[in-house]
Amino acid sequence: MTASGKELMRLLDEVSEGVYFTDRKRRITFWNKAAERISGFSGKEVIGRGCADNILIHVDEHGRSMCRGLCPLAHTLRDGRTRQAEIYLHHKNGHRVPVQVRTWPLHDDKGLAIGAVELFSDSSEKLDLGTRLQELEKLAMVDRLTGIANRYFCEKSLEARLEEFRRFDWPLGIIFFDIDDFKAINDRYSHRVGDRALKTVASTLQRNIRSIDLVGRWGGEEFIVLLRNPDRKTVKRISEKLRLLVERSVFWVKGDPIRVRLSGGATLARPGDTVAGLVERADLLMYKAKKAGKNRVVTS
């Protein structure tokens, strides 16, 4: 590599967005420091490998694999056009991270295509999660294991949102999720692996909600999502998106892939609802999802 090339690589390591280069066969040839931070994968782990080889494993919000005909970088390699997309990468720890992706073709001095470059940024960072969690921690309202809101904070938030619903008719939706067959994970592997599964689910949910919404751990393997000002279509879309992203998340234990699936119940607040009544209705819908075969969301 020339001195100017080395200087370029050094400068790319200073930028806050993830950057990686590939050759024409989509083998990764460069991976900057921000790519390591956002994805959890080091340069040593990925350089020389295919970008879809158990690394980023991009999916869209419908859970579809981007490597099967939807990959922006693959299309850029094929036609030489730049592209931009909002997709979800697989973090080394197992959870899904929403990223804004941009791709460009790479050419040699003669103008011949030699590969492509992808630049990606963590969309969840714009939600300022650090500030939000610090505020929660000051009030001792964070679940210690998963780092998201605990049940007490969820209950207080539900009370406040229901009061807004009563006074101003501002819509409120909730999703009640339960991990399918969680006991089997604990029994087969260990409670430590079960804790890791809980963290993976919590992180995927937290990073992929809207900035106005809230996700918390209700208890055990149960999670709750509070949706502000949604309509029925929005409740259904968000609940299905979150379920799919959790389903497509994975981490490895001694070479075994550990995948977690959720059953959920989603509903809108109705006149006369109490916190207990609203949660119970979502809980009952979740059990309907369990009885219907699991790994699905029932809405009402």
For range 227-241, the mean pLDDT: 97
Q: What angle do CA 69, 73, 79 make, to 5 degrees?
A: 85
Question: Exposed, middle or buried by CB within 10 Å (0-12, 13-18, 19+), for 229?
Answer: middle
Domain ranges of the chain: 3-124, 128-299
pLDDT tens for each residue of 11-53: 888 898 999 999 999 999 999 999 999 999 999 999 999 876 7
Q: Does the pLDDT of residue 230 top 70, yes or no?
A: yes
128-299, what's its fold? Alpha-Beta Plaits (3.30.70)
Q: Does the pLDDT of residue 141 top 50, yes or no?
A: yes
Q: When comparing pLDDT for 254 and 298, which is higher?
A: 298
pLDDT of residue 243: 98
Q: Does the pLDDT of residue 263 top 60, yes or no?
A: yes
pLDDT of residue 113: 86
Banded pLDDT at 124 (limits 50, 70, 90): confident
Give the closest residue to 21 by CA, choosing from 3, 43, 40: 43
| Mean pLDDT for the chain overall | 91
Banded pLDDT at 6 (limits 50, 70, 90): confident
Give the closest residue to 236 by CA, choosing from 292, 175, 172: 175
Q: Does the pLDDT of residue 280 top 60, yes or no?
A: yes
For range 267-294, the mean pLDDT: 98
pLDDT of residue 3: 45
Say if residues 181 and 175 touch (Cβ distance below 8 Å): no
Q: Does the pLDDT of residue 235 top 80, yes or no?
A: yes
Q: When comparing pLDDT for 56 and 116, which is higher?
A: 116
Say if residues 104 and 76 touch (Cβ distance below 8 Å): yes
pLDDT of residue 66: 84
pLDDT of residue 129: 59
pLDDT tens for each residue of 174-221: 999 999 999 999 999 999 999 999 999 999 999 999 999 999 999 999
Alpha carbon distance 39, 87 (integer Å): 13
Q: Does the pLDDT of residue 143 top 70, yes or no?
A: yes
Beta strand 297-299 with 262-268 is parallel
Specify the pTM: 0.80
3-124 against 128-299: fold identical:
no
Say if residues 123 and 106 touch (Cβ distance below 8 Å): no
The CATH architecture that domain 3-124 belongs to is 2-Layer Sandwich (3.30)
Among residues 36, 118, 221, 240, which one is catalytic? 221
User: Is 164 among the residues known to form the active site?
Assistant: no
Lowest mean pLDDT across 14-18, 55-59, 128-132, 220-224 = 128-132
